[in-house]
Amino acid sequence: MVRQIVTSLLLLSLCASLHAEESPLVVGAILPLTGGAAEGGTACKNGMTLAYEELPAAERIGLRLRFEDNAMNPASALSAYKKLSALDKARVFVAWDSASAHAIVPLCEAAHSPFITAVLDPKVSRGRTQVFNYWVTPEAIAKAQIDESLRRGYRRIARVTALHEGILAIKRSFDQENGGRLQVVLED
């Protein structure tokens, strides 16, 4: 995801540099910087910071990064969004967990603020105009799973899933794509 965010930052910096005379374009990143997912959130923050620092000085003038911790908690994500919007004047947002994305996306849509994410849950971006989701779709994952299982000669499989909307979307896509080619003999 960091590579996609870097690409997005480069595009945003180009837009920002075109309007550098105006106030800078503030990107608000709402990431888990504490808690169980802090390692991933910190890696994302570091990647974004590195990409920003590698931009030419002229492009950095019109772009600012602001980070807020959500500890992967939707309520904290909403508080972070409100702070970034009101105090830091952020107009573009980044988050990478589904629960936070679901909390923030309606606000970004209403404010016409671009939202950059990489989540598995397709509902985060479906029907939205401001969401840029850089994750592979559940349909593509399910197709790859089926194709690889058949390539290996599997006809009967066991399936372990989680109670996470993104994982359940893969399961639904798998069942729809499968068409009886693979028999699920055990499910947990």
This prediction has a pTM of: 0.77
Q: What angle do CA 70, 76, 77 make, to 5 degrees?
A: 70
Asked: is 2-133 a CATH 3.90.79.10 domain? The reply is no
In the chain, list all ranges with CATH 3.40.50.2300: 2-133
Residues 133-137: contacts with CB within 8 Å, 24+ apart?
134/1, 134/4, 134/5, 135/1, 137/173
- pLDDT tens-digit series, residues 145-181: 999 999 999 999 999 988 877 888 899 999 999 999 9
